[in-house]
Amino acid sequence: MKQFILEIFAWWHKQTLSTRIFTALRGVKVGEDELGNVYYKGKKDGRRWVIYNGPAEASAIPPGWHGWMHYRTDVAPSEQDYKAHTWEKPHQPNLTGTSMAYRPDGSILTPASRPRVSGDYDAWSPE
């Protein structure tokens, strides 16, 4: 029952009821990534979409699937033996808006002041 209520009211969590119906009628499952996100494409139009495993966070799509979602490749990672490159880093969640967000010195959310650097702007003052 909780999942049903979330599908009606919480668009940011997994899928809505209308997305579930649309996916059932017009979608073909293409694959699933290591984070549990499920990828679909349209039966007729080739449209591509993802049902997130948890909150809808676009940065949670791995690089291989990102390329497929943005039509960089026609072959989904599930249809080939895709291996991430050595330089590709594992997913890190977007921490913006959380207490773990990056706050540099000089930010209004930190008490520390920003250190002065040589390229800083000095306001002109008439003599």
Element (H, E) at 2: helix 2-9
Q: What's the pLDDT score for residue 10?
A: 67
Residue 7: which pLDDT band, with cuts at 50, 70 and 90? Answer: low
User: Helix, strand, coil: what percent of the chain each, to 5?
Assistant: 25, 15, 60
The 10s digit of each residue's pLDDT in 73-113 is 999 998 888 888 888 887 778 888 888 888 888 888 888 87
Q: What is the mean pLDDT of residues 66-79?
A: 92
Residue 43: which pLDDT band, with cuts at 50, 70 and 90? Answer: very high
> Does residue 70 sit within a domain?
yes
> Does residue 58 sit within a domain?
yes
What is the domain count for the chain? 1
DSSP bridge pairs for 87: none
Q: How far apart are CA 92 and CA 61, in angstroms?
A: 10
> Does residue 99 sit within a domain?
no
> Does residue 85 sit within a domain?
no
Give the 3-state secondary structure of residue 107: coil
> Does residue 59 sit within a domain?
yes
Backbone dihedral angles phi then psi of residue 121, each to the nearest 5 degrees:
-80, 130
Q: What's the pLDDT score for residue 68?
A: 93
- Name the token pair of 67: 């390329």
Contact 83, 76 (CB under 8 A): no
- Quote the domain boundaries for residue 45: 2-79
Q: What is the pTM of this model?
A: 0.70
Strand runs (DSSP E) across the chain, as ranges? Answer: 27-32, 38-42, 48-51
Q: What angle do CA 91, 95, 98 make, to 5 degrees?
A: 155
The 10s digit of each residue's pLDDT in 10-37 is 666 677 778 888 889 999 999 999 889 9
> Does residue 122 sit within a domain?
no
* pLDDT over threshold 90, residue 63: no
> Does residue 86 sit within a domain?
no
Give how far Cα 33 sits from Cα of 50, 51, 60, Å. Answer: 10, 11, 10
